[in-house]
Amino acid sequence: MNVRWTAVLTGFGVDFLIAILLSPFLSETILTSPDLTRPGDVILLSLPIVLTTVSGYVAGRVAKTSRVLNGFLVQIVSILFSVVAGPMTRTQVISGVVACLFAALGGYLSRFPAERAQRSSGRG
């Protein structure tokens, strides 16, 4: 297990920027009591979770080793900052846990383009 804190903090920075860009579209009522029968609420709730995959991917690409762990830690750092800001609602806790899985998935996915590039350069 090789944690690269620069990679984790870079991924967290990407996650933070995505959150800032999405904040005008997310109202407090969507986060605290979403209406899951409305497709707009479902999309707005799932968008930050899916985009967390991007921050895990960035962390994995920067780390180049233990990519899943570094991607996972991006969301753990994000959750820690959320807890410091104040108590989390049940919806936020559940979405944070799911986002951990997506961040780890992003770290896992970050290895595939590098492997293709290595294979193609090794055949030449």
Q: Model confidence at 109, in pLDDT bands (50, 70, 90)?
A: very high
Give the count of domains, the chain. Answer: 1
Percentage with pLDDT > 70 across the chain: 85
Taking residue 74's Cβ as centre, other Cβ atoms within 10 Å add up to 31
Token pair in block for residue 61: 């690409």
Domain that holds residue 24: 5-123
Q: Which residues contact 108 (CB under 8 A, 6 or more apart)?
A: 60, 67, 68, 71
pLDDT surpasses 80 at 120: no
Taking residue 124's Cβ as centre, other Cβ atoms within 10 Å add up to 4
pLDDT surpasses 70 at 5: yes
Residue 26 near residue 47 (C-beta atoms within 8 A):
no
